[in-house]
Structure 1
Amino acid sequence: MKYLLTLLSLVLLMACEPNSTLVMPVPPADNALFRGFNATIDFDSLRAEDFAAATAYQIPKSRLWVQKIHETKDRSFENTMREIDEMYDEISSLYGVIYLMGSTHPDSAIRNAALGEVVVMEKYFNSLSLNDTLYQAVKAYAQTDEAKTLTGPRAKYLTETVQSFERNGFGLDEAGRAQLQVIDDKLSELGNTFGNNIASFEDHLIVDEAGIAGLPEDYKQARQTEDGMYKIDMSYPSVLPFFKYAQSATARQQLFVKFRSRAAESNMAVLDSLILMRTQKAQLLGYDTYAAYRVADRMAKTTQNVWDFENDLVGKVRPKAEADYAELLEVKSTSTGTQASEIDAWSLSYYENILLKDSYQLDGELIKQYFPLDGSIEGLFTITQQLFGVTYRELEDPSVWNDDVRLFEVLQGEQVIGRFYLDFFPRANKYSHAACFPIISGKASDRGRQIPTAALVCNFPKATDDKPSLMLHNQVETLFHEFGHVLHHMLSETELASQSGTSVSRDFVEAPSQIFENWTWNYDALKLFAKHYETGEVLPKALFDKMIRSKNVGSGMNLQRQIYYGMYDFTLYDLKSDGMSTDDVARSLHHKLLLYPFPEGTHLQTSFGHLDGYGASYYGYLWSKVYAQDMFSLFEQNGVLDQETGMRYRESILKPGGSMDENQMLVDFLGRAPQNDAFLKGEGVEISE
């Protein structure tokens, strides 16, 4: 059957002209990737061969859909624009599952089969973006009297669809569009290769007792080898505590160089090709640089606005960063007994931790005893249920891709309005960062509302034999941040899947997640769940006050690093000269922006996954944080558990998804134009009156 379906797909893929006669493909039997409307996914029955069979059915079906749209007479929103939205939604829902499995499934056969079909589907998405049949249908509808009277989300959808086609080459002749499709197909392959090289990269550092001195006992026990040595892998739960606590500068340096050079051998050339081909794409479309192409349809609009934003922050943040660095130099001088003039990159966390313990009496290991993972999840749920008037219900014995994955439903009263999976622990070849993976988008449907589904994928420490999973405070921040994306996906209420959830400008998309980090710094919120894992004691107010006093320790240097990452990314795609390597750019910007020595022998770019998916977009993290902090200022005024403010936020920011202009959403919620004062104040940066 698989062979016949593959042959059928090849025949249908060749029959792509509008006047060709396409035959409806046969749905694959017993394929776990297909399910009834609003049914959950049967991951237990998933087989490696299901992926190719699914795309061999879905892509030809989509081509038939395109032909149907092309042949439609008397165009209307329903028979043209909604049909396009439905077609994209159906194939995107399949892609969402396949992409998730390629990033998380523990079975290498299933994971690799999924990754192969990710490439196939992305090539097809590229062909849709260059499909003249669809473009002509949209243009024909745009000329109708009905289209000219559209308002609100429907008008926005039509305008953005036309613009999207034109940004994808419909000002080009046939040869130009063919060239663009070749470039886009190659970019999909390169992007997947870049990400997969990071995810599959494995390395470790072996250290002895002297090398691991300073680390907590539970950390050491989890990594001890049979010969009494210690194996430190490249996962975040391994490396972050090591940089913070390891007393051996040599061991810290060895791990830092390894960690900061992940996938260097395989990804250096891949990144060069990505940059080159993205530049070729932008110039083919009439833009000077890829960065100019990327920001044209975003809140920033122009590269100059991005550079102005970044450079303005450089000047405002530098005095705070210099004060931070001077404070760390004092700590190093005291610790070593010699006057320190510089601190290496691999020692910044170490001396900052000493500063926090000695000057602020803040012990991260003590603090994490108040943040067991289960309690942190419970607290997150309590807060967001209170704010947004929903409840979460865990499903017993769900069908999942790994035994420790959990599945929850989001309920409004008794009605299920969303579902999300939690996949929280590291394992081999799993996506190594933290992210919300959208699977199914919410939308209106003649069968009822389609239930949005997402997966929250993180890499938190697992429980040991004698302790539950205990979270560093910044890991609790990560949990709240990523759940903000989940809520955005769950609580939007749009007519169209294309405008659902996080389908907003990419330089705004982080704001509805960044805002939730603030609840982890508010005692009224923390006392609901921050409880000692053994005694149940609530996080003492005195300890919380120490956390607040130390909150902006190093904030200037941290902001400098974020500015550096944003400017590095933007330089690669906007200003990089032909004679400079990506290493050269990293070194040059480091000397210009950062205060500590450049860590020679490292290649941050080869494991900087954002350079693919967020290429020329990393500036958006700080750009959107300005909006996030401004929005949170209303919760500060009215109470961080105030349901009226929460429901107003849900109505103004979450509910519209991408169906409204982001600036208008902000004004609706804030009652005024956005400002950056709250952001700078929150980072401890002095604001000039």
Structure 2
Amino acid sequence: MHPPQPLPRVWMAHEIIPTMQRIISQKNTVRAEIVRTVNPPTASFDTVLRPWADVENLVQGELGMIYMLQYGSPDMATQDAFTQARQLLLAAESEWASSEDFYRLVQAVYDKKEELDVESALFLKEELLGYKRAGWGVLSPAQSEQYLQGKKEISKLESTFNRNLAQEDGGLWFAESELDGLPADDIAKWKMMANTKTPSQENHVFVPFANGGMLTVGTLAKNPDTRKKMYLENNRKLAVNGPIFEEIVARRTSQSQFLGYHSHAALVLESKIAKTPQWVESFLGQIRDDLVARGKAEVEVLQQHRLQDLQAQGQEAEGNFPAWDQMYYQRLVEKEFHIDHVQISEFFPLESTAAAMLEIFASLLGLRFESIAAQPDQLWHESVQAFSVWDEHTSEFIGYLYFDLLWRENKYRGNQNVAIEAGYTKPDGSRHYPSTILMCSFPTPTPDSCALLKHHQVIALFHELGHGIHDLLSKTKYIRFHGTSLPRDLAEMPSTKLENWCWLPDVLKNISRHYTTLNPNYLAKWRNQNPGLPDPPEKIHNESVDNLVKYRYWGRGLYHLEQLTTSLFDLQIHSQQTPQDLASLNIQKLWYDLRQQLEGMDFSECRDGFDYCSFTHLCAAYDAGYYSYLCCAAFAEDVFATKFAHDPFSRSTWDEYRRMFLQIGCGHGDMLGLLAQYLGREPNSRALVDRLVGAAAVV
């Protein structure tokens, strides 16, 4: 069966700017026609908002492809073209927001109080809020122009910040003797990657911060000086982003004051579930003490192992627990639990694990995923895979899913779900179907090996696939309410809930497959490295699964404390009420003060670092919103415990979840109320810490 809609075509670098110009022209034409033919007395949703919604729907797929290329294209010419195209769109958006004629029509529609369906009413409300945030009703025309110019300048700074992050290619040279404990395959990979770099000395290996370098050294390097040096330099790697970030925060503060808000946080949170900074403060305050206590207990365990380890090596055993030793000693503690993440990763090769996850969703939701032999102009990189997605029972086409899973130069650093095309209802009543990407940066293998996932990376993959499934199953009238376009403080809930499945023994067994069973060459190499040992089993050992599940909460206190640190940092810097207040705040000092106070480790030698500038969230729509991860984790824990824990594989439970939540996307006027309706009560914002506190002891 052929899909009723082709895969979208990927734009070449030279096509991006003309395409953006055409999109802007299409939208300008529609707006001009509305203003020409409608006046406030004749304004209605059908004459003003519906034509605007229709053209927004129509061009979104092309626009989505352009924006995707900023994350996924390895081609610098494409990246440069995106930057120019984005400036064109920002200028057009500024012009649209400054149109008094169109604003007056939208206000007239709102004042008429028409009976509208839920999504249309929400569209009208959002459109009017957009004009409010452009200064209408608050600023004079001259002030509004100044404000919109300020927004464009902030967007440019954010683009520079994120581009610096994507193109970061630093690392350190180490003698091989300093890398004792690291896998030979990783060292071989780095030697190959370093061909273009000048060695500091002969027989040294260049270890990049990205592509798994920092993670591998921090977790496995036996030499404490190696771990320390790598951590501290990784901590300093994006110093260039420090002043950019401070400028962004200062400008956000000024802009919010300009519109009459107390702070940038107040402006942002107005359209979120939280609504106010006070709600966020209360939520974080409710969980702070319990998380700090849990984290303190975990650090004490790590410190005991560190001191014993140093004494065994004949070294001086003193001092507080340093931040650069966290990953290493967490691994040693897990080793005592008979958890070896390197060995466990052998059962989770990326390709087969991802395919097995698709089978799980196919079973739970009645879906079918069919691999597609895409044309070259339908993929942005040779490593990308495409799938058509179908409803198994109705044979209805659902959309397209892409896998873009491996790290490469100039690609987004991290794991995310990116929607190219959202679904929507066309004017004739038919559907336009979504296309969505799992865009990750899992470390690349060598030519004679495959990419293996640690358990936390298995969780990350499942999480991002959850976002992708949400995108695919959503059915909304307008693209702006499709799928994961929920308020940030609810958007992570559906995929975070799915992380619970990565701790179910049956799931872990079913998605596991030892990498040597994938290719006879892998098995031959394994036999050479392990002479005399029996071949590995195809599926992961029951004991490994049992231990993973038994000790699943080990380290979770520190994991969530890092989220709490970032959330409080984010809220504090974006709650300053004047530029003068912000100028008196030392952002770098605040970051490391919070880390030391909350996480309980020694950060004294890290304070010249900029690791708050080494992730994209606070300059990519999570500003004043990082608390969303903890908030969504609480809601997710509540949903799982209430609806799924008794039978995680119940098809009727999954059908209800699909119908009552996933399909609705953001097309509901009260998303927190929708969640309460689904649960049958108000959601429990303490569900996460209640589960953590109620879990077994730290060790």
Same fold (TM over 0.5): yes
Q: What CA distance in whole angstroms lies between the structure 1 residues aligned with 2:209 and 2:58?
A: 37
Deviates more, 1:364-373 or 1:601-610: 601-610
The corresponding residue for 1:168 is 134
Rate the CA distance shift 1:536–1:100 in 2: closer, same or farther, 3 A: farther
Rate the CA distance shift 1:685–1:167 in 2: closer, same or farther, 3 A: farther
The corresponding residue for 1:595 is 600
1:511 paired to 2:518: no
The one of 440, 443, 446 equivalent to 2:427 is: 446
Cα deviation code 1:371-419 (max 9, x no counterpart): 1112211221111112222211110144211111111111124332211
The corresponding residue for 2:324 is 346
Pairing 1:434-513 to 2, within 5 Å after superposition: 434-447=415-428, 448-513=430-495
Q: Per-residue deviation at 1:367?
A: 0.7
CA contact (8 A) 1:123 1:188 kept: no
CA contact (8 A) 1:129 1:168 kept: yes
SS at match of 2:420: strand
Pairing 1:52-91 to 2, within 5 Å after superposition: 52-73=17-38, 74-91=42-59
Rate the CA distance shift 1:326–1:377 in 2: closer, same or farther, 3 A: same
Task: Give the aligned residue type for 1:457.
Answer: M
The corresponding residue for 1:134 is 102
Unaligned regions of 5+ residues in structure 1, if any?
1-35
Rate the CA distance shift 1:157–1:189 in 2: closer, same or farther, 3 A: same
Rate the CA distance shift 1:524–1:672 in 2: closer, same or farther, 3 A: farther
The corresponding residue for 2:521 is none
The one of 113, 138, 152 equivalent to 1:185 is: 152
Rate the CA distance shift 1:37–1:642 in 2: closer, same or farther, 3 A: closer
Q: What CA distance in whole angstroms lies between the structure 1 residues aligned with 2:168 and 2:87?
A: 20
CA contact (8 A) 2:54 2:426 kept: no
Q: What CA distance in whole angstroms lies between the structure 1 residues aligned with 2:543 and 2:326?
A: 26
The corresponding residue for 2:679 is 670
1:384 paired to 2:361: yes
Q: Per-residue deviation at 1:236?
A: 4.4
Task: Give the aligned residue type for 2:27.
Answer: S
1:311 paired to 2:319: no
The one of 427, 433, 436 equivalent to 2:408 is: 427
Instruction: Note the aligned Cα RMSD (angstroms).
Output: 2.1
The corresponding residue for 1:203 is 170
The corresponding residue for 1:289 is 263
Cα deviation code 1:535-558 (max 9, x no counterpart): 553222221111122221122122
Pairing 1:547-626 to 2, within 5 Å after superposition: 547-575=548-576, 577-598=582-603, 599-613=606-620, 614-626=622-634
Query: Which of the pair has the greater relative contact order for Cα pairs under 8 Å at 6+ separation?
Result: 2
Q: Per-residue deviation at 1:270?
A: 1.1
Q: What CA distance in whole angstroms lies between the structure 2 residues aligned with 1:671 and 1:167?
A: 35
The corresponding residue for 1:213 is 180
Q: What CA distance in whole angstroms lies between the structure 2 residues aligned with 1:191 and 1:393?
A: 38
SS at match of 2:452: coil
The one of 644, 648, 654 equivalent to 2:652 is: 644
Rate the CA distance shift 1:129–1:481 in 2: closer, same or farther, 3 A: farther
1:336 paired to 2:306: no
CA contact (8 A) 1:86 1:497 kept: no
Deviates more, 1:187-196 or 1:334-343: 334-343
The one of 49, 57, 77 equivalent to 2:14 is: 49
The corresponding residue for 1:101 is 69
The corresponding residue for 2:275 is 301
Rate the CA distance shift 1:549–1:681 in 2: closer, same or farther, 3 A: farther
**TM-score of the pair, normalised by structure 1:** 0.90
Task: Give the aligned residue type for 1:299.
Answer: I
Rate the CA distance shift 1:632–1:126 in 2: closer, same or farther, 3 A: farther
1:279 paired to 2:291: no
1:194 paired to 2:161: yes
- The structure 1 segments of at least 4 consecutive aligned residues displaced by more than 6 Å after TM superposition are none
Task: Give the aligned residue type for 1:543.
Answer: S
Q: Per-residue deviation at 1:91?
A: 4.0
CA contact (8 A) 2:386 2:403 kept: yes
Task: Give the aligned residue type for 2:565.
Answer: Y
Cα deviation code 1:560-582 (max 9, x no counterpart): 11100111111111146422232
CA contact (8 A) 2:250 2:582 kept: no
Q: What CA distance in whole angstroms lies between the structure 1 residues aligned with 2:405 and 2:111?
A: 50
Rate the CA distance shift 1:310–1:126 in 2: closer, same or farther, 3 A: farther
The corresponding residue for 2:347 is 370
Q: Per-residue deviation at 1:151?
A: 4.4
CA contact (8 A) 1:437 1:456 kept: yes
Cα deviation code 1:513-545 (max 9, x no counterpart): 211111111112222212222255322222111
Report % sequence identity: 25
1:406 paired to 2:406: no
Deviates more, 1:321-330 or 1:51-60: 51-60
Unaligned regions of 5+ residues in structure 2, if any?
196-201, 517-535
Q: What CA distance in whole angstroms lies between the structure 1 residues aligned with 2:4 and 2:344?
A: 45
Task: Give the aligned residue type for 1:432.
Answer: R
The corresponding residue for 1:544 is 545
Q: What CA distance in whole angstroms lies between the structure 2 residues aligned with 1:464 and 1:417?
A: 36
CA contact (8 A) 1:635 1:642 kept: no
Task: Give the aligned residue type for 1:435.
Answer: Q
SS at match of 1:205: strand
The corresponding residue for 2:523 is none
1:244 paired to 2:211: no
The corresponding residue for 1:325 is 299
Cα deviation code 1:145-203 (max 9, x no counterpart): xx432242222222232223213311222122111111111111111111001111221
**TM-score of the pair, normalised by structure 2:** 0.88
Rate the CA distance shift 1:96–1:469 in 2: closer, same or farther, 3 A: same
SS at match of 2:236: coil
Rate the CA distance shift 1:594–1:628 in 2: closer, same or farther, 3 A: same
The corresponding residue for 1:629 is 637
Cα deviation code 1:655-687 (max 9, x no counterpart): 111111212221232222211454224434569
The one of 120, 132, 142 equivalent to 1:154 is: 120
The corresponding residue for 1:254 is 229
